[in-house]
Structure formats: C-alpha cells, structure tokens
Amino acid sequence: MAQEGETDVAAMRAEIARLRAQLEQLEGRLNKVETQAVVAAPSATSTPVAPAPQQAAAAAPETSITWRGAPQMSNGKGITFKPRGRLQLDTSYVSRPGNSGAPTLGWSSDVRRAYIGVDGALGGGFGYRLEVDVATGSALLTDAWLTFEKGPLTVTIGNHKTFGGLDELTSDLETSMLERASFTQAFGFERRLGVSVALAKGNFLLNVGAFADDLETMGTGVKDDSFSLNGRLVYMPKIGGTQLHVGGSLHRRELQGLFAPLRYRARPGARTTDMRFVDTGAFSATSETGYGLEFALGHGPFHVASEAFWQHVDRPNFSDPTFFGGYGEIGYVFAGGKGRGYSKGAFGAIRPTKGIDKGGAGAWQVNLRYDWLDLNDASVRGGTQRTLGASLVWVPIERVKFLANYLRVSVEDTPVLIGALNDYDVDVFGLRAQYDF
C-alpha cells in the first residue's frame, strides 16, 4: 500500500511540472506580443508615417460623370458641375396691314435665343448658375445667381426672375406658343438683380423678393435707383390624376424719380419683327403696382391654363391708369406622350414615350390660346390687342422641339396708325426649331 501511495504522489508531481512548463511558455509569448505593440505605437513626438500611395488613392473620392443632356460631373460629396445651353431658331411671317411699308414685316428670321452657361452645387446647400445669351452677337447675362437650400427654404441672390406668373416662370423651352402672353412683355417682366426667398411646404409655394433694375439697364451708366418688392403664392395639390394650380402675385415698383418715364408696348406674337401695333409711348410715373391671378390644371394629356394681370400706375397731377392683360389656353398631347410636365409652380417638358431614336414618332401636342391686352385707360392711350392662336408642337426626342403657330391679331383704337387706320387685323405665322442641353 505504501508503494502505491508513493507512485500516485510521483505522478501528481510530474503533472504539476508539465503544467508549470506550459504556463511559462504562455507567459513568454504574451510578453513578446506586448513588446511588439509598444514598439509599433507612435510616440507623442514621432512623425506620422504617410499611407502607402495605393491606400491614399483608394481613400480619395472619385469624380463620377453622368449624362443629363450634357456631362454632369460629381465628386460624390455634393459638389457638381454641368455645362448648359439652348439654341432657338425662329422664322416668322407678319402680314402688312393696309400695305404698311414697315421693314420688319413680312418674312424674317432670327436666332431667338443662344444661351451658354454652367450650373451646379458647391456643397453645404449652396448652388450656382451663370448663363449668357449670345444671340445678338454680344454676351448678355441672363441667370447669374447663387442659392442656398435648407430643407424647404431656398435663398437666391443675383440676377433672376421676379415671380411674374405661370406663363413667365415656365421656361421658354416649354412654352406652348413661340412667345409668351403679351402682357408679360408689355409690363416688363424680366430678370432683375435682387435677393429672394422661396418656401415650399406641402402643396404650397411662397416666393418673396426685393429687386433693383435689370442688368442691361444698370449697365447703361444712367443713374437708376428704382427698386421693387415682389411676391407670389401658389397652391398646387395633386388630386387623383389631376394636377391643380391656383396662384396669385403682387408687385410694387418704386421708380425713384418724380417723372421717371414708363412705356408699355408689345409685339404681335413674333420676335422677328420690331413692329409694335399697341404702344403707350413714354409717359410720366412715380410707381407701378401689379397684381395677377393664375389658374391651371393638367390631367393626363390634357391641360388648361389662364391668367389675368392688372397694372396700376401712379401719376402725380394726372389720373392714374390701370392696364390689363390676360389669356386662356387649352392643350392636348394627342400622340406619343403622357402630357405636359409640371413642377414647382410652373409647366415643364413634354417627354415622348417613344422617340424617333427608339423607333417611335415622338410626342405631338396641339394648343389653342386667346390673348388680350388693353393699354387704354384714363389719359394714356396705347390701344388694345386681341390674339387668337393655334400651335402644333412636335418633340421627336427629349431636348429637341419643333413648334409652329398661327395667330390672328386684331388691333383696335391704337395710336400706331397704318395710313389713317387705327383698327386693323394682322396674320402671324411662326416656326421654331430648338435644342437644349
């Protein structure tokens, strides 16, 4: 028995020795790992080691290029750059009432617009656009602005539109006739230098802004201290498949001169002629106040639109006239398209469901419009102009558009006499080819 006990004790001592040897090996390995970690860690005064070139290249953001009518470049962090432009070529015929000898009546052609520019995002909510029109052979700034967007709020600083109404704020690329409603031209709706705020919340869009004059006038060197305050409110719900648009605008412009001259006039629906059959001539004024109403709806291929605008003028020592302009329109995409686009309080593009590049026939649209401009009131006589027009639009592929319109223009009680006539009719036929990117 004593011999068996001694054998068990010897076995236990051998096992303990074996376990102790394993523990010493583990402690040695652990000490080696800790020593390597201390050596590899940089000290507070050590110079950091630059990453390998391959690692640095992998970490750097790569510029991506997408196609939006032209290449748009993006760095993946909200910074983008895109060239933009448009070209519109017009040919028009304006008949000669009473055999008028005005040189720009009859057939004539024009480069209506030739825009070139850039736009994009700068990051942090900032965006920009710089665009010039070179149609006349010299560069004229159109859009030149900087924006800041934060949620539903957008602030714009620079040369931009003053919220004149639906027809004015719809891009000239997407108009249903060659030219916009006559009152937008007569009452001087144009881009001006200023600052504005847009608030888009749900179905509502609110624009307010303060503006100086347009850049072309400011660049003449003539002292011009005029300024305007402008606002527009739009309610634009989508009810089922119907897009509804109801809006109103208010404009107040101080001319900042006791007898600063005003002049209201309009061409007969064609920019290729310099002839205006309604024209108030220059008259004295201190301020003008305009207010407009807008209505439109779109349902599938069908749309209607209508606007009315009143322009009241303050004239010291004279009666204060109020002039009026408006239009009503109906249109239908009868082949190859889903209808007229709509976004942010304005009409958008017609997009063909199958362009000729895909074996289709493109999109086709027909429009009818009645336009009214009355420049007679109080002591100011500029005449009245009523226009009944029809147009045919063909969009063979996206960003290419052809448009033809016929207008019957009736002029009454105008100071622009043709012979001894102050009432007469004019026929206008126009063609346009355009491309944008």
**Which range is least confidently modeled, 10-24, 296-310, 398-412?**
10-24
pLDDT band, very low/low/confident/very high, at 11 (cuts 50, 70, 90): low
* Bridge partners, residue 109, by sequence: 91
Does pLDDT of 44 surpass 60?
no
- Please choose, from the candidates 174, 179, 110, the residue with its C-alpha nearest in 3D space to the C-alpha of residue 401: 174
The residue with greater pLDDT, 103 or 3, is 103
In the prediction, which pLDDT does 32 show? 61
In the prediction, which pLDDT does 231 show? 98
Q: Which of 45-54, 57-66, 99-108, 149-158 ranks highest by mean pLDDT?
A: 149-158
- Please choose, from the candidates 370, 367, 365, 376, the residue with its C-alpha nearest in 3D space to the C-alpha of residue 408: 370
- Please choose, from the candidates 134, 140, 190, 143, the residue with its C-alpha nearest in 3D space to the C-alpha of residue 165: 190
Kindly report the number of other CB atoms within 10 A of residue 141's CB atom: 18
Q: Do the Cβ atoms of 405 and 390 come closer than 8 Å?
A: yes
**Which range is least confidently modeled, 56-65, 259-268, 362-371?**
56-65
Three state DSSP letters for the chain: CHHHHHHHHHHHHHHHHHHHHHHHHHHHHHHHHHHHHHHHCCCCCCCCCCCCHHHHHHHCCCCEEEECCCEEEECCCCEEEEEEEEEEEEEEEECCHHHCCCCCCEEEEEEEEEEEEEEEEEECCEEEEEEEECCCCCCEEEEEEEEEEECCEEEEEEEECCCCCHHHHCCCCCCCCCCCCHHHHHCCCCCEEEEEEEEEECCEEEEEEEECCCHHHHCCCCCCCCEEEEEEEEECCEECCEEEEEEEEEEEEECCCCCEEECCEECCCCCCCCCCCEECCCEEECEEEEEEEEEEEEECCEEEEEEEEEEEEECCCCCCCEEEEEEEEEEEEEECEEEEEEECCEEEEEEECCCHHHCCCCEEEEEEEEEEEEEEECCEEEEEEEEEEEEEEEECCCCEEEEEEEEEEEEECCCCCECCECCEEEEEEEEEEEEEC
In the prediction, which pLDDT does 19 show? 65
* Bridge partners, residue 374, by sequence: 324, 384
Q: Do the Cβ atoms of 391 and 270 come closer than 8 Å?
A: no
Does pLDDT of 119 surpass 70?
yes
Residue 304 has, within 13 A of its CA and on its CB side, a CA count of: 7
Q: Tokens 């649209």 belong to which residue?
A: 365
CA dist 332 to 5, 241, 339, 352, 366, Å?
111, 15, 7, 14, 6
pLDDT band, very low/low/confident/very high, at 54 (cuts 50, 70, 90): low
Q: Do the Cβ atoms of 208 and 124 come closer than 8 Å?
A: no
pLDDT tens per residue, range 269-292: 999 999 999 999 999 999 999 999
Strands 204-211 and 337-343: unpaired
Provide the residue type at 145 as one letter.
W
Does pLDDT of 9 surpass 70?
no
CA dist 31 to 20, 22, 40, 282, Å?
17, 15, 15, 97
Number of H helices, E strands in the chain: 5, 25
**Which range is least confidently modeled, 90-104, 120-134, 252-266?**
252-266
Does pLDDT of 393 surpass 60?
yes
Q: Tokens 């109404």 belong to which residue?
A: 165
pTM of the model: 0.84
**Which range is least confidently modeled, 51-60, 316-325, 416-425, 427-436?**
51-60
Does pLDDT of 418 surpass 60?
yes
In the prediction, which pLDDT does 214 show? 83
Dihedral over alpha carbons 264, 270, 272, 277 (to 10 degrees): -40
Q: Do the Cβ atoms of 239 and 183 come closer than 8 Å?
A: no
In the prediction, which pLDDT does 43 show? 46
Q: Do the Cβ atoms of 347 and 341 come closer than 8 Å?
A: yes
In the prediction, which pLDDT does 40 show? 47
Does pLDDT of 302 surpass 80?
yes
pLDDT tens per residue, range 152-203: 999 999 999 999 999 999 999 999 999 999 999 999 999 999 999 999 999 9
The conformation of residue 313, written as its DSSP 8-state character, comes to E
The residue with greater pLDDT, 21 or 407, is 407
In the prediction, which pLDDT does 331 show? 98
Q: Tokens 């005003």 belong to which residue?
A: 262
Does pLDDT of 61 surpass 70?
no
pLDDT band, very low/low/confident/very high, at 38 (cuts 50, 70, 90): very low
Does pLDDT of 228 surpass 70?
yes
Domains plus CATH for the chain? 81-436 (2.40.160.10)
